Amino acid sequence: MGLAIQQEEFTPEEHARFVERLAESLEALRQVLRRPGFGVGPVTMGAELEVALVDGAGSPLPVNQQVLAKSKDDRLTLELNRFNMEMNLRPSLLAGRPFTGLQAQLDDVLAELKRVAATEGARVAAVGILPTLRQGDLGKNALTPQARYRALATAIRKRRDGPFQVAIAGDDTLNLTWEDVTLEGANTSLQFHLRVAPEDFARVYNAAQLATGPVLAACGNSPVFLGKRLWEETRVALFQQATDDRSDSDEAAHLHPRVTFGHGWVREGAHELFAEAVALYPALLPVMGHESPLEVVAAGGLPKLEELRLHQGTVWSWNRAVYDPQGEGHLRIEFRALPSGPTPVDMVANGAFLLGLTLGLAERVDALLPALPFWQARRNFKQAAHHGLGATLLWPAEAAPSPRVVPAVDLVKQLLPVARRGLTEAGVDAAEADGLLDIIARRVALQRTGARWQRAVLERLEAHMPRQDALAAMLERYLELSEEGLPVHTWPVER
């Protein structure tokens, strides 16, 4: 998120100075984006994966700091809750066989994490929401004891001025009152990054927003939370409610949730999204750096924009604009909607579908958007999260005045060739693209996502054991099959 966080409480004066710096940073960003050649370069991709640590019985094991201390792999880092970890994979060129390289990285860093985790009696679970979680596993003692997490938790809770209310309805219903942000740590995701040239940003970002719904429908892996069968991607509902800093007062009624799909199609580019985040969301962590962004720009340098990047890191857009000052600087889109798991090959295939579809749609997105109001794209995202492959989605047709209503299964099948074209035209090896998209095609044909597999196995196990025991047995089978590395559509439901 840019600046290191050392303090947990902030004064009104610190907030005021931070707001001034954000305004200065936005102007500096505007000037940088106007520079000829800024952000121009080869298309690259990267990824971040979050996972859970569990004990021999499949319950969360809060030992992330001990595990990290035993590894020298700089790709490993901590996450919000003590039973979570994150791995930051090194970026690569998109052209060639990038997903083969990505899978090799995933295999490598997961093997290292499993090795050091075993020394603490822990196993690694790549799953959107750990199905064995209980309320006692969460709460303030679950928070990783670092200043950045304590500061974030304090700031959100202070603005909230009351407990969090979580209400999610699926096959079962969850209604929960909670006092801290550790519910958010139940979520683990797979986040992809795609470098985008500034002049292409609006077009590619809108295509990403359009693509996210149908892709998520084919990738669900989070159907259970606290023993309740909820959405196919329960993370989507849980994340928004577990970090909602809006109070119940009349003054807060006009504010927007910090976890957001967005507020409209982007017209001008990346600056529009940064400005929107500043305008709509109060600062949570007003930590100041020493750099004056406008002075740096005036001297011909590249500003770090640490405060703006920090603020952007506390607004959790499902597709987020990223400014990176490293080297000569560039822009990225961070795709945040995909869940962790089930296997590296599944996750790589999910990423190939998402990035390929985004790039394929970007070629004609300006012709598609007039037939799909933004609120309908947001609806697609929520429908996909709730119902997965059982969702009914709205999809634009060129030169048509209104969108078509399409079952998610049919829409995914229709969009796979678009994703292939997006990949191959970006230089991805055709055989690699075909192999990964075939995994998605087979998954959809069998309607066997990670979420569907978990539901089916849980139903069979629950016929002869209590639910919590069935969840533990289901997770054990999940971990065994994920170790084999085969895509989830090949996993048997019956033992």
pLDDT for position 456:
98
With beta carbons less than 8 A apart as the criterion, state whether 380 and 314 touch. no
Closest by CA position to 405, among listed 417, 422, 393: 393
Residue 283 has pLDDT above 80, yes or no: yes
Residue 20, helix vs strand vs coil: helix
* Full set of structural domains in the chain with CATH: 35-262+318-487 (3.30.590.20)
The residues, ordered by sequence, that sit 6+ positions from 216 with a Cβ below 8 Å of its Cβ are 233, 337, 338, 381, 384, 385
Determine how β-strand 319-324 pairs with β-strand 316-317. unpaired
Tell me what the mean pLDDT of segment 67-91 comes to. Answer: 97
Of the pLDDT bands very low, low, confident and very high (cuts 50, 70, 90), residue 2 is low
pLDDT, tens digit, for every residue of 357-392? Answer: 999 999 999 999 999 999 999 999 999 999 999 999
Count of Cβ atoms closer than 10 Å to residue 259 Cβ:
20
Distance, in Å, from the CA atom of 391 to the CA atom of 383, rounded to the nearest integer, reads: 6
Q: What is the pLDDT of residues 330-352, one digit of tens each?
A: 999 999 999 999 999 999 999 99
DSSP letter string over 421-440? Answer: HHHHHTTB-HHHHHHHHHHH
Distance CA 88, CA 66 (A): 19
Q: Which range is least confidently modeled, 47-61, 249-263, 276-290, 311-325? A: 249-263
Q: With cut-offs at 50, 70 and 90, classify the pLDDT of residue 7.
A: confident
Encode pLDDT of 418-455 as tens digits: 999 999 999 999 999 999 999 999 999 999 999 999 99
Both tokens of 66, joined, read 């001990």
Residue 402 in this model has a pLDDT that exceeds 90? no
- Give the pLDDT band (50/70/90) at residue 300: very high
